[in-house]
Structure 1
Amino acid sequence: MTHPTLTRRHTLQALAAATAVGLQPSWAQAPQRRFEPTPGAWRRFELSTEVQVPEVRGHTRLWLPIPDVESDYQRVEGHRWSGNAQRVQVVADAPRGVRMLMAEFTPEAGLPRLTLTSTLQTRSRAVNWQEKRRVSEDPALLRAALQPTALLPLDGIVRKTAQEATRGARTDLDKVRGIYQWVVTHAHREPKTRGCGTGDIKAMLETGNLGGKCADLNAVFVGLCRAVGVPARDVYGLRLAPSAFGYKELGAGSAKLQGAQHCRAEVFLAQYGWVAMDPADVLKVMRQETPEWIKDPAHPVVAPVMAGLFGGWEGNWVAWNTAHDVRLPGSKEDTPLGFLMYPNGENDLGRFDELSPDSFRYAIQARELSAA
């Protein structure tokens, strides 16, 4: 492994302290670094995706992800679109519970053009570990958050790994803490991974290659949680703005956001409800925040993030959806997507490469608006 075993005792003590009192442990108090996302004022954004297909090859279809999550950390005000499509509509892959914008273009329309603009509000979130209550949730949602998917099987090596990571855990919170620690200890951020990764956790665990990006690393976390009976889900989205805490890797670095996609995670705990998690961003800070690859989560640069992302995340990000195995309504190709986080399209030659914004020619921008 290129990522050495970290000091388990120190990290578990830090997480236990953060969980017990909702504060960062003393060794995480680096004067020049803090990461303390807390629920507060709402921020308002206008988010635009512009697609220009560079050639006409028969009929063209586009599918764009839309902010489709309404929660205590996100409000969606509405969407509008323009272009030369013959038909544009919001469609759904209902079994997966995900909506998207679909546009269809005839050859006579010329080069396909589509602009989607959404207005939304976001804010930071953080669980109050001292405030326990009995939280109810739709049983169907909880069942869905315990199911295997094409890329997240829950048997074999996945179940075995999850049991090892949670050995001795008595509660769901203990299980989640053990899995969070296991992912940070054993996995690593691999900057050369294309896009956000594929999320094929069985292949990762079988090969022992636990390097990847957010859709890989948080998928491992979600899969391991599900394998030991803790409802969990990936939340696919996009970074909108820089981090308020000065971490360059935890925010959008420019107005051009076509490479700013980011997947987060949630777990459901009966006494707290849906709780934010993001071990992938811990690993990103460890690998890329400084010129040196940091290997110890107790490092003063990493420790505040390690504690803060166990139960919280910053509101400089928009959530698209929580769906796996997504089928594109009206597509000629039957192959589902592992997830919908990028613009997608196809023409008579086949499906476009969603990770090629230059040849596919899509651009994503966001600007912050004054509060409503």
Structure 2
Amino acid sequence: MSRTRPTRRHVLQSAAALSALGPLAALVPPAAAQERRFAPEPGAWRRFEVTTTLNVADAQGGARVWVPLPDVDTGYQRTLGHDYTSNGSARLVADPASGVRMLYAEFPAGVAAPTVTVTSRIETRNRATDWTQRGAPAEDPAVLRAYLAPSELKPLDGIVRKTALEATKGAGSSDVEKARAIYRWVVVNAHREPKTRGCGTGDVKGMLESGNLGGKCADLNAIFVALCRASGIPARDVYGVRVAPSAFGYRELGANPANLKGAQHCRAEAYLRGHGWVAMDPADVLKVMRQETSDWIKDAAHPLVAPVNRGLFGGWEGNWMAYNTAEDVRLPGSAGKGTLGFLMYPNGENASGRFDELAPDAFRYVISARELS
């Protein structure tokens, strides 16, 4: 077997890649300096206990709160049960339209320091798609129709349809090729904006019309989902929270389980014929590009980014818990008449109106996780 000696250019490129890794470079053996590893593979289940504790600071004569529950049972997550305590009246409820389940607690006037604690036990594991294999079980046609339909934040006509045609121009005719083209388009044209509050709002039409495709996961993956639907590919956002560090050493792809403030994360799935529901997460590619190092990496082929870019088309890491895939959610018992674009945060209200769910310190809720043996 012949071997090519590294040129001075190759050596300089390797040195530059190590420099870009900053303090992470120490974690990368010299032989692997060209590229980090990110390759989730299905394997053993991990069991977690996830606890949300919510305290109402200003009940104003009465308050109501809603806490999302992990409501997904699939090949990558199993829900084992929930426990909850409260000094108010608490019960499990569901939005009749979307079916999404949550814990609802009411606190009448006079309840001192309203509080509720919810603990959910789940099992989760990595996902990866074997693209050489086909024959996944068929999905219910009604489910596929639902995830081809527009939502309030994801219209499929006008500029969304126009952008979908642009993103898939030149792609092959298969849904895999179209999904890959859309994924690539999002990574190339959108960007992570750290100043966006929470995970963003997911207003796809507004972002495309403004031309500002900066945001966070609920924005960036919403673009991917909407463009897929507009291209005839069933797709959905999956709303959840990171519960553990990444096993691959990426700081931005994990969380501190002792305090999951700000760890909410929206992922995506596309239904591809022959493969079923396939994991997708272009938003996390953009997060690594923007925030994994002190420098904003602009090239998805960068050795720090490339394995994540490959791995998150068809896979994701099981250090994350899914809540639901619901859109246009109504909170049972709420005095408000509108809907939520999605349910990924605790919500609450008093006589003055809705609390700010994106301000966990002011709203006073804490989420933590513990891995069980």
TM-score by length of 2: 0.90
Structure 1 CA distance for aligned equivalents of residues 337 and 367 of structure 2: 27
Give 1:129 shift.
Answer: 0.5
* Aligned counterpart for 1:201 among listed residues 197, 204, 209: 204
* Matching of residues 181-330 of structure 1 within 5 Å: 181-253=184-256, 255-330=258-333
Q: 1:133 matched to which residue of 2?
A: 135
How many angstroms does 1:33 deviate by? 1.4
Deviating more after overlay: 72-81 vs 88-97: 88-97
Q: Distance in 1 between matches of 2:35 and 2:188?
A: 25
Is it true that 1:40 corresponds to 2:54 in the alignment?
Answer: no
After TM superposition, where is structure 1 displaced by more than 2 Å over at least 4 residues in a row? 29-32
Secondary structure at the residue paired with 1:218? helix
Cα deviation digits, residues 219-262 of structure 1 (max 9, x gap): 00000000010000000000000000000000003521121000
* 3-state SS in 1 of match to 2:228: helix
What is the aligned length?
341
Equivalent position of 2:5 in the other structure: none
Residue pair 1:135, 1:270 contacting (<8 A) in 2 also: no
The alpha carbon displacement at 1:359 in A equals 1.3
The correspondence for 1:72, drawn from 66, 71, 75, is 75
- Superposed CA deviations along residues 246-300 of structure 1, whole A, max 9, x for unmatched, are 0000000352112100000000012000000000000000000111111111100
The letter of the residue matching 1:105 is F
Deviation of 1:97 (Å): 2.5
Answer yes or no: is 1:343 the counterpart of 2:349.
Answer: no
Query: What are the Cα deviations for residues 13-56 of structure 1, in whole angstroms up to 9, with x where unaligned?
Result: xxxxxxxxxxxxxxxx7566100001001111110000111133
Letter in 2 for 1:319: A
Query: After superposition, where does 1:116-155 map in structure 2 within 5 Å?
Result: 116-155=118-157
Structure 2: unaligned runs, 5 residues or longer:
1-31
- Is 1:102–2:104 an aligned residue pair? yes
User: Does the 8 Å contact 2:35/2:307 carry over to 1?
Assistant: no
Task: Return the alpha-carbon distance in structure 2 between the equivalents of residues 33 and 249 of structure 1.
Answer: 14
Alignment match, 1:91: 93
Inter-partner Cα distance in structure 2 for 1:186 and 1:341: 26
Q: Deviations over 1:301-347 (max 9, x none)?
A: 00000000000000000000001111100100011111100000011
Superposition map of 1:47-62 within 5 A: 47-62=50-65
Aligned to 1:88, the other structure's residue is in SS state strand
Shift of 1:135: 2.9
What is the DSSP-based 3-state SS (H/G/I as helix, E as strand, rest coil) of the residue aligned with 2:97?
helix
* 2:109 is aligned with 1:113: no
Q: Indicate if the aligned counterparts of 2:246 and 2:319 stay in contact, CA closer than 8 A.
A: yes
**Aligned partners of 1:311 and 1:55: how far apart in 2?**
44
- Structure 1: give runs of 5+ residues left out of the alignment: 1-28
Task: Select the structure of larger CA radius of gyration.
Answer: 2
Distance 1:207 1:345 in 2: 31
Contact 2:35 2:306 in 1 (8 A): no
Deviations 1:54-110 (A, max 9, x none): 13312211100000000010011100011201x211111131131111011111222
Measured in 1, the distance between the counterparts of 2:304 and 2:85 equals 44
**TM superposition shift of 1:127:** 0.8
Residue 12 of structure 2 corresponds to which residue in structure 1?
A: none
Query: What amino acid does structure 2 have at the position aligned with 1:103?
Result: A
Aligned residue for 1:209, secondary structure, equals: coil
Q: CA deviation at 1:125?
A: 0.5
1:57 is aligned with what amino acid?
Answer: Q
Q: How far, CA to CA, are the matches of 1:355 and 1:292 in structure 2?
A: 27
Q: TM-score, normalised by structure 1?
A: 0.90
Q: Do the aligned residues in 2 keep the contact of 1:66 with 1:101 (CA within 8 Å)?
A: yes
Supply the RMSD in Å over aligned alpha carbons: 1.1
Local SS of the residue matching 1:90:
strand
Q: Distance in 1 between matches of 2:197 and 2:187?
A: 21
In the aligned structure 2, how far is the partner of 1:143 from the partner of 1:97?
A: 16
Partner Cα separation in structure 2 for residue 207 and residue 126 of structure 1:
35
